[in-house]
Amino acid sequence: MGQPFFLPSPVSEKSLLLIQVGTPPDDIRAQVGDLPLWFSAVLVAGPAFQVVRVFEGEPLPRHDAHSAAIITGSWAMVTDLLPWSEATAQWIREAMARDMPLFGICYGHQLMAHALGGRVDYHPQGREMGCLDIALLPGAEHEALLAGSGRHFKANLTHMQTVLELPPGARVLARSAHDPHQVVRYGPHAVSTQFHPEFSPAVAAACIELRAQVLQAEGFDPAAMLAQLSDTPVPQQMLQRFVAAYAGQPAAAPALQAAQVPQAETILTV
């Protein structure tokens, strides 16, 4: 059984850093916008954040310029070892050496594992996609980010690559039927998820609809996948709790309906 993990009291006045490692295809952006908008909807009661689009060559800031960093998902592959991705991996290693709080998501999850000595590659059983069940592992009840989640919860997923081998010292907190590494903790201030806390049902639906023909060819039922979409309050609360702990703001309420979300400009400082 793992040791209890408690969130610190927020003390920093520095802003949050969103390391954007990709942008959606045009069809998805036309329907639901770009990644910063998705995060701003989940973190509606949270702090301002700075977006750095590393996939377009924007330089990463000094580690002491921000209180914490979120590394987003991408449409790239970690195993391509793209220059911007490898530079971000080095930045992650340096951040870990400074005990900087980090939260990686999907590509960011895999990139953290890769950066810290794990192995990432295509999942042997192929794609995982949809609003699926996540199961906590024994000991994960001590994880403050997952407090009150219950033994199972729903999360939105879409990925083909995965963490095949964990970095030294990393600990798995949750899994799915398809993937054994859904939530990973690397240290007292660093965690990552294979699933997407920032996905709303509308974002998840846009991703499924874009790939409908490919999904059918792979044996999926896109209509059934769309019918199974729902709110995912536990993943969203994980992200909100992380930001509340490290960015000096109170935690946001559980998932808000789209009509209740104000414009992204109210919290973005790009």
Check 106, 109, 114, 207 and give the catalytic one: 106
The proportion of the chain whose per-residue pLDDT surpasses 70, expressed as a percent, equals 86
Please state, in angstroms and rounded to a whole number, the distance separating the CA atoms of residues 116 and 186.
9
Confidence of residue 13 (pLDDT cuts 50, 70, 90): low
Catalytic residue status for 198: yes
Lowest mean pLDDT among 138-142, 233-237, 244-248: 244-248
Check 128, 143, 198, 207 and give the catalytic one: 198
The phi, psi pair for 147, rounded to 5°, reads -55, 130
| Predicted pLDDT of residue 247 | 82
Residue 95 has pLDDT above 80, yes or no: yes
Residue 265 has pLDDT above 80, yes or no: no
Find the mean pLDDT for residues 173-183. Answer: 98
Residue 269 has pLDDT above 90, yes or no: no
Measured at the CA of 73, the angle between CA 222 and CA 77, to 5 degrees, comes to: 85
- The predicted-structure confidence for 146-177, as pLDDT tens digits, reads as follows 999 999 999 999 999 999 999 999 999 999 99
DSSP, residue by residue, 63-115: GGGSSEEEE---SS-GGG--HHHHHHHHHHHHHHHTT--EEEETHHHHHHHHH
Higher pLDDT, 12 or 239: 239
Catalytic residue status for 106: yes
Find the mean pLDDT for residues 26-51. Answer: 93
**Amino acid, res. 159:** H
The proportion of the chain whose per-residue pLDDT surpasses 90, expressed as a percent, equals 83
pTM for this one? 0.88
Please state, in angstroms and rounded to a whole number, the distance separating the CA atoms of residues 36 and 18.
8
Tokens found for residue 109: 């999850």
Check 66, 159, 178, 196 and give the catalytic one: 196
Confidence of residue 74 (pLDDT cuts 50, 70, 90): very high
Residue 253 has pLDDT above 60, yes or no: no
Residue 56 has pLDDT above 60, yes or no: yes
| Predicted pLDDT of residue 18 | 97
Find the helix or strand (DSSP H, E) in which 209 lies. helix 201-210
Please state, in angstroms and rounded to a whole number, the distance separating the CA atoms of residues 130 and 220.
10
All structural domains of the chain: 16-200+232-266 (3.40.50.880)
